[in-house]
Structure 1
């Protein structure tokens, strides 16, 4: 096999491997357009971090947000005991990750009655919130 043929085979094989590893949401739709996905990542620091009851109430409140039609996926978590590294910030107490089909759905979620109720009932539980919204490419 010549060097050029080997290089072409490796390049094509690598491109196919990357494409196969992409999630379905990152692949083109039948009309050839990519469907954008919005990931809404929120980190909460509790006002009373020693209170298991407050943590449980916040987690339960977050899980009610799954009832909002625009929310495609919802994951709620707490810090993992992973290796200590300078780039890891696990100082938060509760986190959530939501996935939306597009920014319009994420905007609609913000004013949905279930979200407004969650904020009203649970905002006293946290002292700090950090939000990271990302458009998947």
Structure 2
């Protein structure tokens, strides 16, 4: 995971943009809205409240975030298709793919990773085009 963090820190928006064809950037990024869902499994479940109230809100304060929602698994019934195993999740709305890309190198996002990554054992991200 350390190599991914280093990649995100050093890549920057311009570097990442160069990985895509110019026509894709100009057409798709300008108009494609998206949802960025992040799920955290913490080393210690006793840290859930601290992580939810102290750590995760940093992500919602990043410059390009449109809307931000965080929470914990709902107390819904156990079913094969429902995953209650994570401790904290957040859903972040972006107005464009370009905004999501800029978020990856936002100083608050990078500070969040640096400061709190030791608290989670696993993180999963699901990006959805809308």
TM > 0.5 fold call? yes
Q: CA deviation at 1:37?
A: 1.5
The TM-score with structure 1 as length reference comes to: 0.69
Give 1:68's match in structure 2, choosing from 57, 62, 68.
62
Aligned equivalents of 2:111 and 2:63: distance in 1?
15
Spell out, residue by residue over 1:32-87, the C-alpha distance to the aligned partner (whole angstroms, 9 max, x if none): xxx432100011000112x1xx2233222111222212100110110101122111
Select the structure that is richer in helix: 2
Aligned equivalents of 1:63 and 1:40: distance in 2?
15
Q: CA deviation at 1:134?
A: 0.5
Q: Which residue of 2 aligns with 1:45?
A: 41
Aligned equivalents of 1:48 and 1:62: distance in 2?
16
Q: Which residue of 2 aligns with 1:56?
A: 49
User: Which structure would you say has the larger RCO, counting Cα contacts within 8 Å and 6 or more residues apart?
Assistant: 2
Structure of larger gyration radius: 1
Q: SS where residue 60 of structure 2 aligns? A: helix
Kindly indicate whether the alpha-carbon contact (under 8 Å) linking 2:38 and 2:90 is maintained by their aligned counterparts in 1: yes
Q: Which runs of 5+ in 1 are unaligned?
A: 1-34
Structure 1 runs, 4 residues or longer, greater than 4 Å off:
none
Q: Which runs of 5+ in 2 are unaligned?
A: 1-30
Aligned length: 100
Root-mean-square deviation (Å): 1.4
